[in-house]
Amino acid sequence: MAQPRTEQSGRDAAGPADGAGLRTPLRTAIGERQSALFARAFGHHTVGDLLAHYPRRYAHRGELTALADLPAGEDVTIVAEVRHCETRPMRQRRGSIVEASISDGTGALTLTFFNQPGRAKELRVGRRGIFAGRVNRYKGVPQLTHPDYELFDDDADADIAAWQSRPIPIYPATASLPSWKIARVIRETVLPRLGPVDDPVPQRIAAEHRLEDFATALRDIHVPLTDADWHRARDVLRYQEAFVLQAALLRERERVRETPAVARPPVPGGHAARFDAQLPFELTDDQRSVGEQIAHDLAQPVPMNRLVQGEVGSGKTVVALRAMLQVADNGGQSAFLAPTEVLASQHLRSIVAALGPDLSAELMPTLLTGRLTTAERKRAMLRAVSGQAQIVVGTHALLGENVSFFDLGLVVVDEQHRFGVEQRDILRAKAERPPHQLVLTATPIPRTVAMTVFGDLDVSTIAQLPAGRQRIESFVVPLAEHPRWEGRVWERAAEEIAAGHQVFVVCPAITAKETEGDELEPVTGREDGGPVSAVALVEQTLAAVRSNPVLSGARIAALHGRMPADEKDGVMRSFSAGALDLIVATTVIEVGVDVPNASAMIVLDADRFGVSQLHQLRGRVGRGTAPGLCLFVTTAENGTLARERVEAVAATLDGFALAEADLELRREGDVLGSDQSGGRSSLRLLRVARDGEVIERARSDAAALLQRDPRLEDHPALVSAIADRLTDRSRDFLARA
């Protein structure tokens, strides 16, 4: 149980009043040379950055590490015992080699030192310590060459039992900064000189949850005397992280609402009403409900900031189009931001087709992308700035400084994770008054992720699929166990084509030297540390399927993001019109591509894609009258995380269940990435897959605090923590969850 804290307790625990604060430059606290190492290795520049470099686990002097589990080629930090040590001369040249064998009681690892005879005196048999280095193999034997180590001093403490049970912090480390060097700098230099620490969690809230003060938590997580110390400190710091993040998101939400927007209420008999009257299908209950929420938001004089999440094919675009028509009824324009040119072009065609000739002539939907001809681009920009085009669909080209609007009333962002906060702000800044914003995503989001990533948005969900959507059957093709099944994959493709249908084939990369860039999330390594096999490439696969006898006579083409815009558009038009039977593509077809006659999807090296990508890709088939078929081809071995990911997608069509499964599969540290720039670009201790209750409690507390003190005038420590913690870059990073 934590000790009740007082306002003074943080100062007492922190150290001398004239010590270094969290914002003190690291070079001032630990010197130029050492601070340069931390800046280069982790991006740490202040005392606060370093103290937020929390241990990733704790070891004990009485325990050993399972050496048999150490992966080759990785940097490791282990606890082990010296079992043997000898010095011998080199055979080919002058000098000596010190070889020591360390063991966990079951396995052994060799330490090798060249021309360092003094090591033999330190590495005496029976001594235990922490050893760090890169695991490699010499003649089949695992070894560490010139490792760093710190030996335990068996005489350091008369109370051997307490000494053995004292936790040893193991930090994320590098070759130049092994774990114990980080620990020593924090323990011996930074913490003793730390001055007063301002706690961003108000005392009243901390007392309610019986949380110890910030300074004590920092001390206990870095220099714990018992396991209970670091457990308690981690809980305090985890809650603090959630509280600061939720306060930042809620504050951002209120900031957006502070500047009045132009209300765009429904207009009886207007464009939106005419569109509804001519719809050839019935809206689902979810589409109607979400549409009503959006219509209500648009009618308010505060900016709408709403996220609509829905399954692939659930009809989010129709909901967005109805919102754009409501804005047009009030004389405003809408900008529809899409992540790729293929998708932008398709959205425009879909919008024009849905509106019909009369409404299209009145609203003049216009495309603006970076690869239009100069004349086409000027024409599109003129339509936007004059207000002639009331719906402008485009890619990043919409963000250009020369692009202006007559009266931008609504910004629709499709697949928002492809765009950064700054990019979305650029588009919003093109409006005279803050425009309403509607964000669409086909990646279902677990509730805790939504609260953590989209806490400044209102969230709506479309779970129902429109009537008539066909079921999609999904199968894993495990080539690791059944390499001959690959032939059957192409036979199934030929059967679908013979039945009058069309086939997508998806590859992870275009050529051996070139991947898709912003349209691909490449997996560059194996989670299990195994060798990375060559990936399926568009160029090679295209040649292979064209030469495959079972596909003779099939009309085949390639589609990827490096093709010229007119060529990509031509391929998609031909495929949509049925002039092509099969296309070999990258993830350029992942989002929004709608070809009702496409019945089969073959994903090669499916383990190279994430869960959401596979689910999105699968959603490209089964959109017409024929049932869909999806084959996930993989060489990943059974039992690996990569294989589990593919099997999870094949097992269900429920995107929300997949989102939860993905959260679990990615495990700690991977949900929000591992980039360490500035130490501020990802979550530190908080894990959305595990800490749902903490996040909900922190959000409730932050909301109540902001209701009492909207500008946080009485909480300067929280204001400072928000400014330090939630940078644009960290928001971008979070948004990729």
Strand 582-585 with 75-89, pairing: unpaired
- In which band, very low, low, confident or very high, does the pLDDT at 620 lie, cut at 50, 70 and 90? confident
- pLDDT of 343 > 50? The answer is yes
Pairwise pLDDT comparison (673 vs 611), residue with the higher score: 611
What pLDDT was estimated at residue 76?
74
What pLDDT was estimated at residue 13?
38
Residue 497, classed as helix, strand or coil, is helix
Burial class (CB in 10 A: 0-12, 13-18, 19+), 111: buried
Nearest to 319 by CA among 330, 329, 331, 306: 306
For the chain, the distance separating the N- and C-terminal CA atoms, rounded to the nearest angstrom, is 34
| Full set of structural domains in the chain with CATH | 9-54+192-239 (no CATH), 61-165 (2.40.50.140), 271-462 (3.40.50.300), 472-652 (3.40.50.300)
Residues 6+ apart with CB under 8 A from 688: 446, 448, 449, 452, 663, 671, 672, 695, 737
Tokens for 668?
A: 């700690």
CA distance 223 to 245: 26
Beta strands in 487-576 (DSSP E): 502-506, 556-559
Highest mean pLDDT among 73-82, 244-253, 422-431, 515-524: 244-253
pTM of the model: 0.65
CA distance 74 to 63: 22
618-633 average pLDDT score = 88
Strand 148-151 with 305-310, pairing: unpaired
- pLDDT of 522 > 60? The answer is no
SS3 content of the chain, % helix, strand, coil (to 5): 40, 20, 40
- pLDDT of 715 > 60? The answer is yes
- In which band, very low, low, confident or very high, does the pLDDT at 491 lie, cut at 50, 70 and 90? very high
Q: Considering only 197-211, 630-644, 670-684, which range has the smallest mean pLDDT?
A: 670-684
Pairwise pLDDT comparison (448 vs 556), residue with the higher score: 556
- pLDDT of 578 > 60? The answer is yes
The CA-atom distances, in angstroms, between 416 and each of 322, 333, 591 are: 19, 20, 12
- pLDDT of 288 > 50? The answer is yes
- pLDDT of 731 > 70? The answer is no
